[in-house]
Amino acid sequence: MNKPQVLKSAIVEVEFGQKVKVIEPVNLYGCKIGEQSFVGPFVEIQKNVSIGERCKIQSHSFICEMVSIGNDCFVGHGVMFINDLFEGGQPAGGNKGLWKATKIGNHVSIGSNATILPVNITNRVVIGAGAVVTKDITESGVYAGNPAKKIRNL
């Protein structure tokens, strides 16, 4: 019988601001989490991710490499970020030159179970629960659906 290599989720080489609160189990490594932010249980945040101040990253969310999030943002439960569009019809694998970045502004609130492809989202945006964001959002407002479209002004 083969035995797998088993590693444990952990908090490794994370740069925390003051007064951050984390509920384990989480898998956080090589990222930066600003002061007074919160990270709920069952969350994974990968290396080089930057999260601003006073953010809430709720349970069951996954934030991948090449994502940066501003201040006063809310990432709901079960939100998934993406950096690999499977260009060429398959995962980029180790070829990070094919990965794309996501930049989230300030005061952005993302509803639970939303999916965020690699995009830029401007300040003061609400993403509805269950939305799939496939394009840049350059105008403040409320966006929902699959694919996400603007449904009203803020």
**Interface residues toward a copy of itself, by CB under 8 A:** 1-9, 11, 15-25, 27, 33, 35, 39-42, 44, 56, 58-60, 62, 64, 74, 76-78, 80-82, 86, 89-91, 107, 109, 111-113, 115, 117, 124, 126, 128-130, 132, 142, 145-147, 154
Q: Is the dihedral of CA 76, 79, 81, 87 positive or negative?
A: negative
Q: How many Å apart are CA 104 and CA 97, to the nearest integer? A: 21
What's the length of the chain?
154
Tokens of residue 105, six digits? 């502004």
Rounded to a whole number of angstroms, the minimum distance from the CB of residue 127 to a copy of itself is 9
Measured from the CB atom, is 60 or 103 closer to a copy of itself? Answer: 60
118 phi and psi, to 5 degrees? -70, 110
Tokens of residue 44, six digits? 């994974």
Assign 63 to helix, strand or coil: strand
Rounded to a whole number of angstroms, the minimum distance from the CB of residue 103 to a copy of itself is 18
Rounded to a whole number of angstroms, the minimum distance from the CB of residue 97 to a copy of itself is 18
Rounded to a whole number of angstroms, the minimum distance from the CB of residue 56 to a copy of itself is 7
